[in-house]
Structure 1
Amino acid sequence: MASSTDLSRDSSQDGLSRNRSQDSPPTPSSVLSATDAATTASKTFPRHQLAVELSGLYSEVIAAKLWKVAEEYLEDGKAPSQYPEWVPEDGETSGHYNTKEVNFWTCGFFPGSLYCILERYVKYPQYLPLPGIDRLEFHAKLLALCRTWAAPLHQMAKRTNTHDLGFIVQPALRQDWELTGNYDSRASVMTAAGYLASRYDDRMKAVRSWDKSVSTRYNITDKDSNFLVIVDSMCNMDLLFYAGHHSSNQRLIDIATNHAHFVRRNLIRNNDSTWHVVNFDPRDGSLKTKHTHQGYSDDSTWSRGQAWTILGFTQTYIWTKEQIFLDTAIRLAEHFLERLRSAKHAYPFVPLWDFDAPMGDKPLRDSSAGMIAANGLLLLHQILGEGSNYLSDALRIARETIDMCQATDPARLVADADSKIKAEGVTFDCILKHATANNNEYALVRYSDHGLVYADYYFLEFGNKLLRMGMV
């Protein structure tokens, strides 16, 4: 584990401030006057209207799909060895999950989706329709499925070879701790934070994202001369803040804060778009490259990368209350929203996979980018209050995602004569379509326009955020 060295921060190199005055914080274009905000809130968001427009967030189809997949991939109730990742929309395996082994970075999202449904059952039962199902029987079985799918994640918490420990342990194990009081899950969350902190480099004042990066264009494998950081890393810092405050460990908090400053200085362009990857030589701190691994080009704006930073910097502000992180989140959000507003194609608030990629006859989307950004926008709305339009923007992303991307198979849960609960009518395993995991032309594995496990997770989490806010 990393030592408890002093972590002084150096914020003197402010990439966002080179062309702006530090004395004039950004004013988002979506901020309204108090009078306009009150009028807009009352006219735009009547709860009965939202309940209709966003009914897809709480459809009985959702629990049926998750139930079907959760049971299908288990053998005799044993912990799974493969985890759902993506669902092709055509071809021989159309409609069915392709899986990854438990050490893949997305393994936490499917069990996390199960816990999203558990949260609805426990806290908001009116938003979990279960017609004809014994609800106590459902809860007992759902909790068992949650715990079974989460079990292998406890061992993943001890990994030192990935920065994605936040994605791996938080969606399921943090929820298990918070919803059920399971101290084993809390312990694994704390353990994961410690191992994530072991990837911190005091010379760079940042957490190493990848140990290597390989494509048909480059082969970066030497950790001594390469230090790779990606924008996705901002959402893994939430684990360090959470564990740091739970354990009164200031070092974890400082590491996460330092890393956020590193990303702010080095991965955000002057126009508030983002690079995907930055690579430094850690021996002397010299910059080697700024490039993309999953986006269209090194100079383009990969939409999911931009979305990760909106959510990550907003989370960082919530933990630290440092104004510069809120200012950064607002700038990133404004750039993302401007790209959506200026789009000329149908459903403009379902983002293109990369905002600068050629569109062709059928624009390629990424529903996961939209739902990740929408979660960040909801948090920004909670911070800024009714004086912002970020709630309206987030809801528009959700509405257009439901209209364009939600699979329409007639899935439902039923109970047989022995009261055994089973799913029927599922023809597409994911909740959402039209996600794009990696469409970079040099990628070793290139796949696009499919269902994606974390698009579903952030869709469910968005719905739960609205419930916590009392919006629907």
Structure 2
Amino acid sequence: MRVLFVLQIFLVFTITLILCLDKNQLIQYSVKQYNKLDVDIKIGVQYPTDGKPISTKWHTTPGVNNQWTAGFYPGVLWYLFNYTKDDHWKHLAIQATDGLFANQFRSDTHDIGFMIQCSYGKGYEFTTNSTYPNIIANAAHSLAKRFNHKVGCIRSWGSIDDKKQFLVIVDNMMNLELLFKGYEITGNKTLYDMAVSHANRTLKEHVRKDNSSYHIVNFNVTTGQVIRRYQGQGYNDSSTWARGQAWLINGFTTTYGFTKLKIFLDAAEGLANYYINNLPEDSIALWDFNVPKDKYPYIPRDTSSAAIAASGLFDLYGHTKNNKYLKTAKQIMESLASSKYRADGKPVYNLPALILNATIAGPNADPGKSDLAIIYGDYYFMNALKYYQ
């Protein structure tokens, strides 16, 4: 483990020598925006989810009411503490994290990984709070209850007792980190094996031969066979949803980091190459890579996909030293940090967020779910800053 830790530090240091964005200015910008946000919400009770640029307030949810995004806000606060070393942010982060305590015992959602790793996980990484590992381990065992041995995956949506269908979405690759961390804390190799099994099955069933991807696969609970492959938040069943592709880049890169199995590194590279090859000029992905431009006069971008992808590409560069991944991640961050996508980029913008023009679902689903600030976009933007001096 010591060797792995030293290697990770070396890789991050190597990357920071190459990049040139002014990290201090971006941190100051983040502090300014989140100081305004924190005045308007009850820390530990309300958790920002999304908001329109011209609004002054985010939509919020409770921390324990089946809201998968709740962990990202405390994660942003933990990054602000880590970057500034200001105890103000630490106290807020602890309060926001404490509000998610009950989630460690939930087996009704696969998103417990997002909820716990972005809050307690980051808190432990930045403070080594001795109470946090037990919470992380409890959450990992709760997530493990959603594993089906016939399917070889963690169930994404639905009750663990649902006998009619077994839905697995690409987002779920991001929750495998919780299983790996649970294994590191407890030594329970079953958690590790479940994560590897899920990654293998996702690679086989969700990733197409050209390295594009399906969002959802429905499995037969009894036999484990595939019933249907399709999209939920993308354009159609044969298209590739940009955020889903970004989840996969991250998920397989993380899985390789824990396992060192080359099959997962190859998968991450294939998925990353597809993503890069389909980017527009400013490197901020459209909501779906295959939307027919003649059918939709306006196709929204997805800066949340961009921030997630940048984080994954930086990690992938650390493992491969392929400059293509570093170059694209840097281009994405430069675009996100420009006035075109920043939440203070126009005088009419009021929302205390970091980046705008994120998309929950495209115009074929609901026009009101695009061109937003989304909390996980801000979170992964902050995460990507760790690669800058």
* TM-score computed with the length of structure 2 as normaliser: 0.89
Q: Which has the higher contact order (CA 8 A, sep 6+)?
A: 1
CA distance in structure 2 between the partners assigned to 1:162 and 1:435 by the alignment: 24
Structure 1 counterpart SS, 2:228: strand
- Which runs of at least 4 in structure 1 moved beyond 3 Å after TM superposition? 44-47, 54-57, 358-363, 440-443
Q: How many residues matched?
A: 371
CA distance in structure 2 between the partners assigned to 1:408 and 1:184 by the alignment: 38
CA distance in structure 1 between the partners assigned to 2:289 and 2:96 by the alignment: 35
CA distance in structure 2 between the partners assigned to 1:410 and 1:287 by the alignment: 47
1:253 shift after superposition = 0.4
**Aligned positions of 1:169-318 closer than 5 A:** 169-211=116-158, 223-318=162-257
Q: 1:458: which partner in 2?
A: 380
Does 1:69 find its partner at 2:37? yes
1:406 shift after superposition = 1.0
Which residue of 59, 62, 65 maps to 1:98? 59
CA distance in structure 1 between the partners assigned to 2:152 and 2:377 by the alignment: 31
CA distance in structure 2 between the partners assigned to 1:56 and 1:87 by the alignment: 24
CA distance in structure 2 between the partners assigned to 1:372 and 1:294 by the alignment: 16
Which residue of 397, 409, 427 maps to 2:332? 397
Do the aligned partners of 1:409 and 1:427 also contact (CA within 8 Å) in 2? no
CA distance in structure 1 between the partners assigned to 2:186 and 2:258 by the alignment: 14
Q: 2:361: which partner in 1?
A: 438
Q: 2:8: which partner in 1?
A: none
1:285 shift after superposition = 2.4
Structure 2 counterpart SS, 1:263: helix
Distance 1:426 1:228, change over 3 A: same
Q: 1:363: which partner in 2?
A: 299
CA distance in structure 2 between the partners assigned to 1:119 and 1:396 by the alignment: 24
Larger Rg: 1 or 2?
1
CA distance in structure 2 between the partners assigned to 1:173 and 1:70 by the alignment: 19
Which residue of 14, 17, 21 maps to 1:51? 21
1:199 shift after superposition = 0.5
CA distance in structure 1 between the partners assigned to 2:284 and 2:185 by the alignment: 37
CA distance in structure 2 between the partners assigned to 1:141 and 1:171 by the alignment: 19
Q: 1:380: which partner in 2?
A: 316
Does 1:87 find its partner at 2:87? no
Q: 1:15: which partner in 2?
A: none
Do the aligned partners of 2:300 and 2:362 also contact (CA within 8 Å) in 1? no
1:383 shift after superposition = 0.6
CA distance in structure 2 between the partners assigned to 1:262 and 1:327 by the alignment: 15
Q: What amino acid is the match of 1:365?
A: R
CA distance in structure 1 between the partners assigned to 2:113 and 2:306 by the alignment: 20
Distance 1:332 1:297, change over 3 A: same
For structure 1, which runs of at least 5 residues remain unmatched after alignment? 1-41, 123-138, 213-220, 412-424
1:64 shift after superposition = 2.0
CA deviations over 1:61-100 (Å, ceiling 9, x no partner): 21122222223212xxxx533210001134xxx2420112
Do the aligned partners of 1:225 and 1:283 also contact (CA within 8 Å) in 2? no
CA RMSD of aligned residues (A): 2.5
**Aligned positions of 1:344-359 closer than 5 A:** 347=282, 349-359=283-293
